[in-house]
Structure 1
Amino acid sequence: MTHIDNLYKMPNPTENNEIFSTLFHNETLKIESIRSNLKTPGELYDQDQDEWVLLLEGEAKLEIGTQTREMISGDYLFLPKHTLHRVLSTSENALWLCIFSS
């Protein structure tokens, strides 16, 4: 049966936390939403999948390799697999849409 949900009605995390929700997943594709409220740097990622990221709401500062990048609502980027990256900080209302592919 088809299920309808709403990204904007998901709860906000407490400070320095994130809430991950898998929206769709099969053998080659995963779509995830992430609510972030980070004031300190998050986990350093080195993923086995390519990742396309869209910041739907809020602001964020990322570390990608040796660069620091700022994002605002509507910004998106592509991270090839094994690109070291982490979220350094976000506004309290940051909402991400992430698509991972093998």
Structure 2
Amino acid sequence: MLPPTANLFADLPPLGRPDEEVRDLLAGRAVRIERIVSTGQASPPGFWYDQPWDEWVVLLAGAARLRVAGETEARLLGPGDHLLIPAHARHRVEWTDPETPSIWLAVHCRPEP
């Protein structure tokens, strides 16, 4: 029996909550897919993600600025924008739209040897 159909845009958290909502959609040994909903959150000052896995991320709705270490400008992302963040590429979320939920789909996978 298959699980019920779900919708990535359903059950969104309210605007103004203190933390992002991160929900695993699929988790396995080699891959994890999650929906992230940002409602104005950003990475703490001075904090950088430095993950031991590759991450492909797509912004489905909203707007965000993502900074990658070594780049002079933050990347402004809108619906449909996506990128692959290789393992150990330091990055941070500098801003997400506080007026509209920013809905991300993130695919985490082990880097190729």
1:4 aligns with: 5
1:78 aligns with 2:79: no
* SS of residue matched to 2:43: coil
Question: Any conservation in 1 of the 2:49–2:91 contact (CA below 8 Å)?
Answer: yes
Question: Any conservation in 1 of the 2:20–2:39 contact (CA below 8 Å)?
Answer: yes
Per-residue displacement from partner, 1:40-83 (whole Å, max 9, x unpaired)? Answer: 43452111110000000011001111321110111000000001
Return the structure number with greater strand share.
Answer: 1
2:109 aligns with: 101
Identity %: 33
1:91 aligns with: 97
* SS of residue matched to 2:50: coil
Q: Which has the larger radius of gyration?
A: 2
- 1:77 and 1:40 map into 2 onto residues whose CA distance is 18
Structure 1 stretch displaced more, 37-46 or 80-89 = 37-46
1:66 aligns with 2:70: yes
Task: Using structure 1 for the length normalisation, give the TM-score.
Answer: 0.89
Cα drift, residue 97 of structure 1: 0.3
How many residue pairs get aligned? The number is 102
- 1:96 and 1:53 map into 2 onto residues whose CA distance is 7
Ranges in structure 2 where 5+ consecutive residues have no aligned partner: none
* SS of residue matched to 2:20: strand
* SS of residue matched to 2:51: coil
